[in-house]
Structure 1
Amino acid sequence: MSWTEYAVMNRIALVTLNRPEKRNALNHIVVKELTELLTKAVEDQNVKVIILQANGPVFCAGADLEYLQQLQTNTYEENLEDSRQLAQLFELIYTMPKVVIARIQGHAIAGGCGLATVCDFSFSVPEARFGYTEVKIGFIPAIVSYFLANKIGDGKARELLLSGNLIPASQAQEYGLINFVTEPDVLDSEIMGLAEQLCQQNSAQSMAWTKKLLADIRQKTLADAMTYAAEANAHARASEDCQKGIAAFLDKKDLTW
């Protein structure tokens, strides 16, 4: 039995959590399946944009607590390997060359909120709640902390991670955790509209290089970052996509990528 689904339509991959009876909670099987499907989408030549979504009323309730309880009998090495799998999934979404859009139709909590954190764009219904509740059960929000602090700043990250409180979608948007709050009846049309826009109007190569630039540049000093950016700029200017795009602009021609 699979707890995830994969489909492609019009160059858009739909990667779906399908464990609604457990509120799409994460365990090693779900994490492994998500990693495999997202890797498949990266390698799929027919895919340009990925939508990460979930079936049921909850986007993702975080780690499966029954599974976490079982892990308490593991050795440190076994727990480290399990933790690395989730870290690899988050890093994959954050650094993969294709844009990932989160469709959040319900609560995104703990690890589920982590998934939303690492996506490039995120759309949420107003009723959804967001938060990292690990400290309330004696756990820690370790893996998401790096991505969250980079995304919304140290102060807001500390507020959310140390309090463990849930916040409404409107506040999550205000904090910069998510991008858009959208009514349920237009959620899919808004998401597909953005996905189609990215497919038709943007160079896949340019989006991939921009994601890599954003992931790499934070780890550098100002001087090293400027050197890296200048080199990336020079490489991009010489690319076929850049030459094609500039020529179309100057010739006032519509370009569909």
Structure 2
Amino acid sequence: MSQVYTQVSIDTRGVATLMLNRPEVHNAFDDAMIAELLAVLKSLADNDDVRLLVLTSSGKNFSAGADLNWMRSMAQKDYQQNLADADELANLMHKLDKFPKPTIAQVKGAAFGGALGLVACCDIAIAEFKASFCLSEVKIGLIPAVISPYVMRAIGERQSRRYFLTAERFSATVAHEMGLLHEVVGEGELATSTEHLISSLLQNSPQGMSAAKALIHNIYNRKISNNVIAHTTQAIAEIRVSDEGQEGLSAFLEKRTPAWLGKEGS
């Protein structure tokens, strides 16, 4: 697959790195970049050798959000064309959010507008101390609509009421306090911190982690009802009798390394 706006690599452990690669425009995205990201995500999701995904960026900034030239062109188009365009961005956020393997966002520099959606859609997000964030849409008469379900899930309604409306720039520390980030690290420490997370994730059952992600998506924010209880009991029963569930339990009881680690020579 030919890539223009991204760089993708997969190491021997199955760690895929997806790099936003338009540093000349601060990794701002347009319709072409969105289409490329969707294609890359599908390819990586379908690749059984991929264990997890790291979303990172080239240059000084994570992403400036929407490309100005793209927004200018969309302002000249009608409602139906804008709806179709927005559907593609919504599809990107959804596919990243539901990516079947663990995802880690690495943030340095600025992450503005739609870039916060990408961060919020990843399972784990870490940023350098000097990183900054902004939901800047209202400054130009727009709203953070497509990314709002993911950002609001991360930071909550109360914080959204402030930052959606003020378009204030806020620090990595504030982003961490609000729940957008899991960890804030010093300058130059992103790689080391990410590697620590990767090492933890690679110890775990690939099937188990995918099932855990699906569990979260299925029961988060739902009332504890008979249907929810039934879903959880079915989920644990299914994973117990699965190949990796059986292997994991056997390895634990027999005090040996499970097969998914043995395949990596760990």
User: TM-score, normalised on structure 2?
Assistant: 0.92
**2:7 corresponding residue in structure 1:** 5
- Is 1:93 the counterpart of 2:90 in the alignment? no
Could you tell which deviates more after superposition, 158-167 or 101-110? 158-167
Q: Structure 1 stretches of 5 or more lacking a match?
A: none
Q: Distance in 2 between matches of 1:184 and 1:44?
A: 33
Residue identity matched to 2:182: N
| In 2: Cα distance, 1:174 partner to 1:219 partner | 21
Q: How does 1:16-35 map to 2 (within 5 A)?
A: 16-35=19-38
Q: For 1:65 and 1:96, how far apart are their aligned partners in 2?
A: 28
Letter in 2 for 1:212: A
Any gaps of 5 or more consecutive residues in structure 2? Answer: 261-266
1-structure distance, mates of 2:23, 2:140: 22
Deviates more, 1:140-149 or 1:47-56: 140-149
Determine the C-alpha separation between the residues in 1 that align with 2:153 and 2:228: 16
8 Å Cα contact 1:149/1:157 also seen in 2: yes
In the TM superposition, residue 219 of structure 1 has moved relative to its aligned partner by: 6.3
**CA–CA distance in 1 between the matches of 2:259 and 2:188?**
29
Q: Distance in 2 between matches of 1:159 and 1:222?
A: 30
TM-score of the two chains, using structure 1 as the length reference:
0.95
Cross-structure match for 2:263: none
Query: 1:118 pairs with 105, 117, 121, which one?
Result: 121
Matches within 5 A, 1:176-191: 176-191=179-194
Partner-residue secondary structure (3-state), 1:142: coil
Matched with 2:56 is 53
Counterparts of 2:42 and 2:126, CA distance in 1: 22
2:224 to 222, 225, 248: 222
Amino acid at match of 2:125: S
Which deviates further from its counterpart, 148-157 or 201-210? Answer: 148-157
Aligned match for 1:207, one of 206, 209, 212: 209
| Cα deviation digits, residues 193-244 of structure 1 (max 9, x gap) | 2113212x11111111111111122364421322222221221121121111
Matched to 1:47, the amino acid is V
- Aligned alpha-carbon RMSD (Å): 1.4
C-alpha distance after superposition, 1:143-177 (max 9, x if no partner): 11111222222112222212211210011011110
Contact 2:130 2:187 (8 Å CA) reproduced: no
1: CA distance, partners of 2:210 / 2:144:
28
- Alpha-carbon shift at residue 77 of structure 1 (Å): 1.1
Secondary structure of the structure 1 residue equivalent to 2:126: strand
Amino acid at match of 1:2: V
Say whether the 8 Å CA contact 1:51–1:102 is kept in structure 2.
yes
Q: Give 1:256 deviation, angstroms.
A: 5.7
- Please tell me whether the aligned partners of residues 94 and 215 of structure 1 are also in contact (alpha carbons under 8 angstroms): no
1:245 is matched with 248
Q: What is the CA–CA distance in structure 1 between the aligned matches of 2:84 and 2:101, rounded to whole Å?
A: 26
Per mean C-alpha deviation after superposition, the further-off stretch among 247-256 and 59-68 is 247-256
- The alignment of Structure 1 onto Structure 2 pairs a total of residues equal to 256
